[in-house]
Amino acid sequence: MLDTDKITKLRKAPVPPALHLIDGKARAASDDATLPVISPLDGRELTTMARGTASDGEAAIAAARSAFDDGRWSGLAPSARKKILLKWADLIEAHALELAVLGVRNNGTEIGMALKAEPLSAAATIRYYAEAIDKIYGEIAPTAPGTLGLVHREPVGVVGAIVPWNFPLMIGAWKLGPALAAGNTVVLKPAETASLTLRRIADLALEAGMPAGVFNVVLGEGAVVGEAISLSMAVDVIVFTGSGPVGRRLMENAAKSNLKRVYLELGGKSPNIVFADAPDLDEAVKVSANGIFRNSGQVCIAGSRLLVQREIHDAFVQKLQAFSEKMIVGDPLDPATQAGAINSARQLEQNLSFVEQARSGGRQVIGGQRLLEETGGYFMQPTIVTGVEASDPLAQHEVFGPVLAVIPFDTEAEAIAIANGTDYGLAAAVWTRDLSRAHRMIAAIRAGVVHVNTYGGSDLSVPLGGVKQSGNGHDKSLHAFDKYLDLKTAWIKL
C-alpha cells in the first residue's frame, strides 16, 4: 500500500540542481552551463541540471579509464565487488519511494508502476548480477597431452552507457548491473528528460563503498555528451537503448574511432496477435490495453499493433474501447491513476501528429485527444485507430505513445506476414488455445521475445534483445554478461 502522505510530502520537496558525478565528485559543467528540467506533470521547471560539454565527457572517461587500469575495481575479488553491489541494491531499495516520486516528477510514469518498475526493479537487477559474478567460471579446453588450453573471462574495460527516459532506473540497471559486476568501469549518459534518479543512485553507489571513478554520470545533451563518449578512443564498449537514428550514429562514431563494440536496443512496432480461439477474450482485452496504454505507451516492447482475426474483430474492438475509456489518465502521483503523463511537450506533439495523419487518411480514431491541458502537463487519451492497413505509417513507425493500430487478418499465414512486415523485431504476442499454432507462430515471428496468452512480464531469468532494426545484443539474464566480458585464451606447453 502506497503511503500517500509521504508521496504528498515528497512531491513538494525542492529538487536541488543536478550536477555531473566524475571521479567521485559532483561537478558543474566545465562552462557552468545548465539545462532546465521540465516536469511533464505541469510543464514547469522542476530544477536545472548541468549541460555537459565534450570536455566533461572526456573527464569522466579519463576517470573511468584510470579506475579500470589501476585495478581498484577490476582487481577486487568477485566476492568483494559482490558485497558492495549488494549494499548498493539495499540502499536503492531503502530509498525506493523517494526515488520513485522523483522519477515521476521527472518523466511522468504513474507511481504504482514507477515504484515497482524503477527503484525496486533496479535493486533486484543489481542483486541478480552481484550474486551471479562469483559463479561465472573460465574453461579448460580439451587439448592433447602436454598442452593446457585455458579460456579466461575478463572485463572489457570502460563501458559507455546511454539510456532512455521511459524507464531510466530499470533500463540503466540492466546495463550497470552486469557491467559493474564483471569488473568494468562505466560512464553513464542519462536522457536529458529523465536524469535525476540515475544521478541519485550514483551517490548511493559511493555510499555503498564503490571506489571513485568506477561509476561516472555525465548529464546533458546526447548530441554533445553521447557524441564524445562514442568517439572516444578510451571507451571499449557502447551500450544504448533509444532511437534508430541515434543508434546508427553511434555505430558510425565507433567506426570513426577505435572500432569499439556497440550494442543497441532500438525499439519496435510489436505485433499483438489475437486469434478467434484465444482462451479468454476478456483477459486478452485487458492485457492488450495495458500493453499499450500503461506508462502512456512509452514502453519499448509496447504492443502497438493489434492484429485481430476478422471474425472477432468488431466485438474485440468494442470491448477494448469500453476498457480503455474507463482507464484513469491523470496525476501520476495519485495511486489511482492508471496512465500518467507523456514525457515531454515534444513527444506529445509527435503522438498527436500520428493520430492526425491517421485521421486525415480516413482511419477511424477512438480517443486521440490531449487531456488536462489546463494543468500545463502533457496528458493524452488512450487512442485506438481501426481500419489500419499494414503499410500505413501508423503500422510501420514507432509512435512511443498511447496509440494502438488495429489491423484485421483472416489466416495464420496472413498474420505472420503482417507481423513480420516492418523493419522492427523486438517483441510480439500470440493469443490462441492451439498449442501447435502457438509453437508455429513462435518459430515464424521474427522477434526477440514472443509471448503466448500474455503480454510482457518476463523476469531477469530470460534475455531481452531484438532482431532486424530493433538492435543487437541482449539485456537481462546471464547472457547480458557477453557484452561486458572478453574471452582470453592461454595456450600452455607443459
Helices assigned H by DSSP within 281-424: 281-293, 310-326, 345-360, 393-396, 412-419
Q: Angle at CA 474, nearest 5°, toward 244 and 287?
A: 80
Helices 168-181 + 78-94 axis angle, to 10? 160
Catalytic residue among 58, 118, 192, 265: 265
The b/e string for 190-216 (b: 16+ C-beta within 10 A; e otherwise) is: bbbbbbbbbbbbbebbbebebbbbbbb
List the strands of the sheet with 215-217, edge to edge. 25-27, 20-22, 215-217, 185-189, 158-162, 237-241, 261-265
Residue 227 appears among annotated catalytic residues: no
CA dihedral 65, 66, 72, 78 (to 10 degrees): 10
Instruction: Give the Cα separation of 211 and 378 in Å (integer).
Output: 40
CA atoms of 353 and 83, how far apart (whole Å): 49
| C-alpha span between 175 and 163 (Å, rounded) | 9
CB 123 within 8 A of CB 462: no
Residue position matching grid coordinates 500517500:
4
Sequence-ordered alpha helix ranges (H) in 108-167: 111-115, 121-133
CA distance 476 to 171: 9
Closest residue by Cα to residue 188 from 152, 153, 159: 159
Which residue is associated with the grid cell 579519463? 62
Q: Alpha-carbon distance 323 to 455, whole Å? A: 17
| Cβ neighbours for 182, distance < 8 A, ≥ 6 positions apart | 133, 155, 156, 481, 484, 485
DSSP element (H, E) containing 82: helix 78-94
- The length of the chain, given as a count of residues: 494
* Burial class for 171, CB neighbours closer than 10 Å (0-12, 13-18, 19+): buried
Write out the catalytic residue numbers. Answer: 265
